[in-house]
């Protein structure tokens, strides 16, 4: 029997949108036709191949099967305007943006963690925040085995998470520093080269937590289907081009030895255990960039909690697993589960 193929739309052609197109090709997603939509009509060249870009409109989704909204963190627009319009026209939407993540109608999915949530989809599925996805790749299997009652997370997030302008700014500031010149910040409120910025997002309530930090708490609770876990998070932008890293400190419901944790993580789908500190082998963004898997290491006991504790360090490609790859994996899982239609 010939494989089903799909009319696919990618909405947005920034850093994440380009990676979506690369990954759709590399993973051989069953594409009948590929359409790229953005604000204006033009041509984009990706890896030497020219792609026509058409203006986005509700009518552009007629006859389409899957729409991947590239989205940008904090940017309202395309999915808010066009997401449900696409669904009305029979197109399944997977949205990388944050507009619908906490919407009760919309499953929030990491396929390796909660693919069963896809059975409740009403035509639109949300992709979690990049830092949430990368943390959950390691946290979820530990939670299933021993129960995580408390999480303290510190993230070290690459500039590619802010888009291509931030990547260019880090490069320009680095070159300027080497040459003894000045390159004033534009993408960020302060220089990012040779600096760290302990703010990602804005503070919108009296909690003192930024929107990025609140996303990790709220999204983790929704994905795991359990709001009892207490979560404290500090999100930091670091002068790394690509690849987010995170230090995770967990208080567990029951004791889990380091050896047991390593066995669990070694067997976890989408995870690669990289844990030999004596030989300077551990997760680093330079090794995670361009990789499908999330790297996990520095697994050790954490004695700072009243109960049993575990600490580890993770690194993952924020443009791939943290955005474009997870989005496509959601669609692949929907095809696999026979959920590739609007109910």
Q: What three-state secondary structure class fits 302?
A: coil
User: 231's torsion region: left (phi>0), alpha (psi -120 to 50) or beta?
Assistant: beta
Which residues, in sequence order, are bridge partners of residue 301? 310
Q: Name the strand (E) or helix (H) holding 174.
A: helix 164-178
Say which residues have a Cβ less than 8 Å from residue 275's Cβ, sequence separation at least 6.
Answer: 262, 281, 282, 296, 297, 298, 299
Six-digit token string for 313 = 């360090």
- DSSP assignment of 101-158 equals TT-TTS-B--HHHHGGGGGG-SSEEEPPPHHHHHHHHHHHHHHHHH-EEEEEEEEEE-
Under 8 Å between Cβ of 230 and 306: no
Task: Give every strand in the sheet of 244-252, ordered side by side.
Answer: 230-237, 148-157, 244-252, 309-316, 294-301, 271-273
Query: Is 130 one of the catalytic residues?
Result: yes
Spot the catalytic one: 91, 130, 233, 235.
130
**At which residue do the structure tokens 């380091």 appear?**
258
Task: Give every strand in the sheet of 66-69, ordered side by side.
Answer: 42-46, 49-55, 31-38, 6-11, 66-69, 92-95, 124-126
Spot the catalytic one: 121, 143, 233, 244.
244
Six-digit token string for 174 = 């680095």
CA 18/CA 24 separation, integer angstroms = 10
Query: Is 244 one of the catalytic residues?
Result: yes
Q: Provide the annotated active-site residues.
A: 130, 244
């Amino acid at each position: 029997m010939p494989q089903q193929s799909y009319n696919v739309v990618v909405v947005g052609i920034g850093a994440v949108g380009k990676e979506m197109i690369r990954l759709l090709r590399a993973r051989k997603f069953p594409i009948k036709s590929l359409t790229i939509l953005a604000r204006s009509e033009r041509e984009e060249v990706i890896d030497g191949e020219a792609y026509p870009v058409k203006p986005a409109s509700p009518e552009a989704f007629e006859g389409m099967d899957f729409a991947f909204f590239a989205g940008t963190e904090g940017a309202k627009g395309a999915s808010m305007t066009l997401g449900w319009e696409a669904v009305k026209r029979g197109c399944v939407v997977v949205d990388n943006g944050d507009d619908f993540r906490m919407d009760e109608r919309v499953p929030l999915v990491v396929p390796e963690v909660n693919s069963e949530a896809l059975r409740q989809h009403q035509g639109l599925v949300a992709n979690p925040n990049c830092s949430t996805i990368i943390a959950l790749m390691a946290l979820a299997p530990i939670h299933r085995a021993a129960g995580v009652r408390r999480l303290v997370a510190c993230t070290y997030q690459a500039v590619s998470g802010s888009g291509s302008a931030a990547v260019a700014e880090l490069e320009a500031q680095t070159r300027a520093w080497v040459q003894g010149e000045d390159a004033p910040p534009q993408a960020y409120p302060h220089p990012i080269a040779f600096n760290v910025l302990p703010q990602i997002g804005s503070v919108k309530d009296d909690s003192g937590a930024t929107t990025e930090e609140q996303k990790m708490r709220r999204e983790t609770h929704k994905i795991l289907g359990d709001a009892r876990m207490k979560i404290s998070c500090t999100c930091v932008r670091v002068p790394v081009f690509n690849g987010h890293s995170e230090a995770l400190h967990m208080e567990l419901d029951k004791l889990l030895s380091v050896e047991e944790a390593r066995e669990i993580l070694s067997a976890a789908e989408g995870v690669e255990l990289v844990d030999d500190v004596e030989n300077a082998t551990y997760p680093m963004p330079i090794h995670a960039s361009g990789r499908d898997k999330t790297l996990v290491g520095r697994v050790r006991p954490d004695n700072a909690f009243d109960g049993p504790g575990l600490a580890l360090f993770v690194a993952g490609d924020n443009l791939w697993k943290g955005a474009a790859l997870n989005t496509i994996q959601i669609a692949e899982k929907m095809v696999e589960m026979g959920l590739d239609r609007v109910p």
